[in-house]
């Protein structure tokens, strides 16, 4: 499978890693859309949130608590956005579940 995020998770492709545990990896986005722009991924390949099942519930919860921890470590706890683009029409370009942690500028609502 030719998945760029699997390659980052396995160490085959370099990334600027800022958090790692047994199941989760977080690294800087290559094309940042905010002063802080981190991607948080499960190490195992899951195509998108739609592809998750009940058995992924703990993993999904752990991603959120990892996001809060990362935000704290990066001193952006007060204001950040955590978002996943699910499907091409929603802006998903990499078919490996990932959450964008964005901070450091004013966020607009609704997002485009
Ligand atoms: P999305 O459009 O929601 O699928 O987000 C994919 C994100 O992955 C984009 O913000 C890209 O800039 C980012 N990206 C793609 N390849 C890499 C990479 N090798 N390292 C870091 N970020 C990447």
| Pocket of ligand 1 contains residue 14 by CB under 6 Å | no
Judge whether 37 counts as a catalytic residue: no
Asked whether the beta carbons of 101 and 70 are under 8 A apart, the reply is yes
Q: Does the structure show a pLDDT above 80 at 103?
A: yes
State the Cα–Cα distance between residues 108 and 33, nearest whole angstrom: 12
Q: Is the pTM of this model over 0.95?
A: yes
Of 87, 90, 75, 81, nearest to 40 by C-alpha is 81
Q: Are 60 and 51 in contact (CB under 8 A)?
A: no
Residue 1 has pLDDT above 80, yes or no: no
The pLDDT of 87-102, averaged and rounded, is 98
> Rounded to the nearest whole angstrom, what is the distance from the C-alpha of residue 10 to the centroid of ligand 1?
16
Domains in the chain (CATH in brackets) are: 4-103 (3.30.428.10)
Q: What is the model's pLDDT at position 94?
A: 98
> What does the pLDDT look like over 15-50, one tens digit per residue?
999 999 999 999 999 999 999 999 999 999 999 999
Residue 104, pLDDT > 80, answer yes
């Amino acid at each position: 499978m030719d998945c760029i995020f699997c390659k980052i998770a396995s160490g085959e492709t370099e990334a600027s890693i800022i958090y790692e545990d047994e199941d989760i990896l977080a690294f800087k986005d290559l094309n940042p859309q905010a002063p802080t722009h981190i991607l948080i991924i499960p190490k195992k390949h899951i195509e998108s949130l739609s592809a998750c099942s009940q058995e992924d519930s703990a993993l999904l919860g752990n991603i959120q608590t990892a996001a809060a921890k990362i935000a704290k470590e990066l001193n952006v706890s007060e204001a950040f956005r955590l978002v996943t683009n699910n499907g091409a029409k929603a802006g998903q370009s990499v078919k490996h579940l990932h959450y964008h942690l964005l901070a450091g500028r004013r966020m607009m609502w609704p997002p485009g």
